[in-house]
Amino acid sequence: MDSKEFHSYRQRLNKTQKQMSQLLGTSLKAIQSFEQGWRKVPVHVERQILFLWALKRGNGKNVRSCWDIRGCSLQLRQACPAWEFHAGHFCWFINGTICQGKPQESWSKKMKVCRKCEVFTSTMRHS
């Protein structure tokens, strides 16, 4: 997540920098640094922002499960944490999901796949 995207999500969440710092459990200075591009947005902060945005939008109700969209076999489904936790619409949030036939091991690699996926894009779409 770059500084522009971070700023955009903060605005979508309708939070001031101070409110965002409280929500994320970080300092106001950190929020300012993320938005100015002085500091890289940490993975845990990116994940929390995306999760909060998905919750605010109320998504999941009208989004097809990832395994249906991807046409995953029963064997892949049973090995995937998204299936185990009944989170086919929050698969992008869960590490270790099986996308493109193998577990996605790191957040950065996973998000490269997820940002192109219908489940993620429909959840994150700005309304």
Q: Same domain for 38 and 86?
A: no
- Judgement on whether residues 104 and 76 belong to the same structural domain of the protein: yes
Give pLDDT tens digits for 26-67.
Answer: 999 999 999 999 999 999 999 999 999 888 877 556 677 888
For residue 69, report the phi and psi dihedrals to the nearest 5 degrees. Answer: -65, -40
- Domain span holding position 43: 3-57
Place of tokens 């919750």: 55
pTM of the model: 0.79
Pick the last residue of a domain from 15, 31, 57: 57
Domain count, the chain: 2
